């Protein structure tokens, strides 16, 4: 396994549409996922999309490990290959997001609250998952990376975009930052 270099906002790989993965069972894809897991853990992120490690393929990983007492995480660790998102209703919610490609910054982003995601796993199975809330936010953020979209492009009120350190100094409560 290896730590991969994370592309930062401004790098063209983050603005292009990623290519579909024709064979999810290709060992090279499994190796990429292993390296992305290591890279995400090292960077302290909750999600990572392949374009963020300079690989323009439709692959994202996300999730949290179970709590120390074994309680399953609110966002289970998941590999999504060739994901397709469909909203399940008109409802949106605004929540705080950050991104490993935009270090030190956060902003408040509107996202659908309820979605269905169709995807493939590393075995090549086609699966479907219905998710909501914070979990759905993380998936929308990561899948946006596959379209060349970064979260600041989704912010409705740019007054909410800034340096996390400054918001903390101002006493803003910043639990549950999605990245």
Q: Tell me if residue 68 falls in helix, strand or coil.
A: coil
Q: How does DSSP classify residue 106?
A: E
Instruction: Print burial letters for 86-123: b (CB count within 10 Å at least 16), e (below 16).
Output: eeeeeeeeebbbbbbbbeebbbbbebbbebebebbeee
Is residue 59 involved in binding Ni ion (CB under 5 A)? no
Give the nearest distance from C-beta 13 to Ni ion in angstroms. 13
> Which stretch in 95-103, 123-131, 157-165, 166-174 sits in contact with Ni ion by CB under 5 A?
95-103
Is residue 99 involved in binding Ni ion (CB under 5 A)? yes
Give the nearest distance from C-beta 139 to Ni ion in angstroms. 12
The residue with its CB nearest to Ni ion is: 99
Task: Please identify, using beta-carbon distances, which residue of 25 and 37 lies nearer to Ni ion.
Answer: 37
Give the nearest distance from C-beta 144 to Ni ion in angstroms. 8
Please confirm, yes or no, whether 97 is among the known catalytic residues.
no
Q: Tell me if residue 84 falls in helix, strand or coil.
A: strand
Q: How does DSSP classify residue 80?
A: E
Q: Tell me if residue 39 falls in helix, strand or coil.
A: helix
How many residues touch Ni ion under the rule CB under 5 A: the total is 1
> Which stretch in 1-9, 11-19, 63-71, 97-105 sits in contact with Ni ion by CB under 5 A?
97-105
Query: Where would I find the H helices in the chain?
Result: 27-43, 133-145, 164-169
Which of 86, 97, 128, 142 is catalytic? The answer is 142
Q: Could you list the residues that contact Ni ion (CB under 5 A)?
A: 99
Q: What residues are labeled active site?
A: 142
């Amino acid at each position: 396994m290896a730590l991969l270099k994370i592309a930062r906002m401004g790098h063209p790989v983050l603005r292009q549409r990623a290519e579909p993965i024709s064979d999810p069972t290709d060992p090279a894809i499994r190796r990429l996922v292993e390296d992305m897991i290591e890279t995400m853990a090292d960077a302290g992120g909750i999600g990572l999309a392949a374009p963020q490690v300079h690989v323009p393929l439709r692959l994202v990983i996300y999730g949290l490990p179970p709590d120390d007492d074994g309680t399953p995480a609110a966002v289970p660790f998941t590999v999504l290959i060739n994901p397709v998102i469909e909203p399940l209703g008109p409802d949106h919610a605004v929540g705080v997001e950050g991104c490993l490609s935009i270090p030190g910054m956060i902003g408040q982003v509107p996202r659908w609250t309820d979605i269905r995601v169709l995807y493939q796993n590393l075995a090549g199975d086609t699966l479907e998952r219905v998710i909501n809330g914070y979990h759905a936010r993380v998936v929308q953020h990561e899948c946006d990376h596959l379209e060349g979209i970064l979260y600041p492009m989704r912010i409705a009120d740019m007054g909410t975009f800034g340096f996390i350190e400054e918001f903390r100094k101002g006493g803003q409560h910043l639990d549950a930052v999605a990245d």
